[in-house]
Amino acid sequence: MNDYPPRITTSEVLQIARYGVKKLWKQRRAGLMPAPVDRGREDLFDRDAVLKALGMLQDAAPTAVDVDDDPWSVNPDAIRQAAARNVRHAPASQGRNVSRVLPGAGKATTPRLVVSNPASDRR
């Protein structure tokens, strides 16, 4: 399976898993398949995360390391999950705040309804 690049397209995931598109997204919603890590013309998936979800890849067994030599421990699953997480953006603005735009007391003036009737002869 290492003949695939580190990021694989949706069609390659379907080929490896022997799924249809519907089943892939059902598995994705159920949390059984990883989320795409990049979205462009076609979604890209992390190859190792897909293979692990399909049971085709196991993480390497941890080697015996002296505690003093390695103060940091790395969890490869946590790294994959963090890489697959969506980026949060600031919420879209809800329009401008009229009270800040208008000078004066800070309150917007009340709109008046003006009706004109061209059929009447009042001038």
Residue 87 inside a domain? The answer is: no
Residue 73 inside a domain? The answer is: no
Whether 44 and 36 have beta carbons less than 8 Å apart is answered as yes
pLDDT value at position 42?
83
The domain that holds 44 is classified in CATH as 1.10.1660
Q: How confident is the model at residue 34 (pLDDT cuts 50, 70, 90)?
A: very high
Residue 79 inside a domain? The answer is: no
What's the N-to-C CA distance of the chain in angstroms? 87
* Span 71-91, average pLDDT: 74
Alpha helices in the chain (DSSP H): 10-17, 21-30, 47-53, 76-84, 98-101
Whether 10 and 19 have beta carbons less than 8 Å apart is answered as no
Residue 101 inside a domain? The answer is: no
Residue 31 inside a domain? The answer is: yes
pTM of this prediction exceeds 0.75 = no
Q: What's CA 59's distance to the chain center, in Å?
A: 25
Give me the number of domains the chain comprises: 1
State which residues form the domain around 7: 1-58
Residue 36 inside a domain? The answer is: yes
Residue 102 inside a domain? The answer is: no
